Structure 1
Amino acid sequence: MQRSPVLFIVAAAILLAIGLVHGFDEKEVMAKFMESAEACMPEVGATDADMQEVAKRMPASTYAGKCLRACVMKKCGVMDANGKMDKAAGQEKAKQYTGNDPAKLKMAVEIADTCSAISVPDDHCEAAETYGACFKSEAIKHGLV
């Protein structure tokens, strides 16, 4: 099954790369995402196993893995200092990766709108994991996975 471009845009911009998109260099985007994750590893005490889960687009199995995702979201500027999703920053990233394709951008914005409106734990690491679950759920609803 082909993975959707829009979800990758949202996830790479906001949390994780779950889907793939046509019209941009997926390898380049994933490389930048993984570079941020590698920089976060020592900050949060993440292990190689935590990184493998990120690379395989799996949910985090450890608290450090959740914190790794929160760190990446913060480095990308899509999670604010309060542990909440910065919808405007996510939309800017989506524009960057969609090349302003209206259909892709609309779907990315819809997913970001839905997920930014959910209630998340005060703990930033747990919040990042909750956002990730929302992105995946919304991608399924949109037929992207």
Structure 2
Amino acid sequence: MKLILTFLFVCGLIISNTEANDLVDKVTKLAQECKGSTGASDADYENLLNYQAPNTDKGKCLTECVLKKSGALGENNKINEAVMVEFIKAGAAGDASIEKIGMEGLQACLKVPQHPNACENAAALNACFTKNLRAKGFKGLPA
């Protein structure tokens, strides 16, 4: 569910093996923790889990919190490429075509200009991943 949602979303691309299921569970728990610490609403939380772009400042900060706590986003608010590669591989569950889509999305999103506001930055990166996955015809995301 997550990618990391969203990105994390890239993480939860496929839920067909134990590693992918564990990753989804981890991200879901992080999202719940971050919901409390950011003051995000239930709607913000549900949007995150359903790959919907955050539409509130607290929703954007929820995304940022999950990405940071998962290690996908470094302290410098840049994508942690090594962690994302691990998430993509876990989410792909051995499916080379899904892994390729995830890796192409990662490369595209590494080029997203960094926003000075950490929450806006995380939301932009999340939107990039979701957009790239949908553009590649990935079927694991809701329309």
TM score, norm. by length of structure 2: 0.80
Q: State the alpha-carbon separation in 1 of the partners of residues 2 and 33 from structure 2.
A: 21
Structure 2 unaligned residues grouped into runs of 5+? none
Q: Percent identity?
A: 27
- Answer yes or no: is the 8 Å Cα contact 2:15–2:91 preserved in 1: no
Asked if 1:103 is matched to 2:97, the reply is yes
Paired residue type of 1:15: L
TM score, norm. by length of structure 1: 0.79
**Would the alpha carbon gap of residues 12 and 60 (structure 1) be closer, same or farther in structure 2, given more than 3 Å must change?**
closer
Cα drift, residue 28 of structure 1: 5.1
**Would the alpha carbon gap of residues 143 and 18 (structure 1) be closer, same or farther in structure 2, given more than 3 Å must change?**
farther
Cα drift, residue 121 of structure 1: 0.6
Report 1:1-145 matches (<5 A).
11-12=4-5, 14-16=7-9, 20-21=13-14, 23-24=16-17, 29-145=23-139
Q: Could you give the per-residue CA deviations for residues 45-75 of structure 1, whole angstroms, max 9, x where no partner exists?
A: 2122211212332111110110001110011
Cα drift, residue 84 of structure 1: 1.0
Count of paired positions: 138
Paired residue type of 1:45: G
Q: What's the Cα RMSD here?
A: 2.6
Cα drift, residue 42 of structure 1: 2.3
- Answer yes or no: is the 8 Å Cα contact 1:78–1:89 preserved in 2: yes
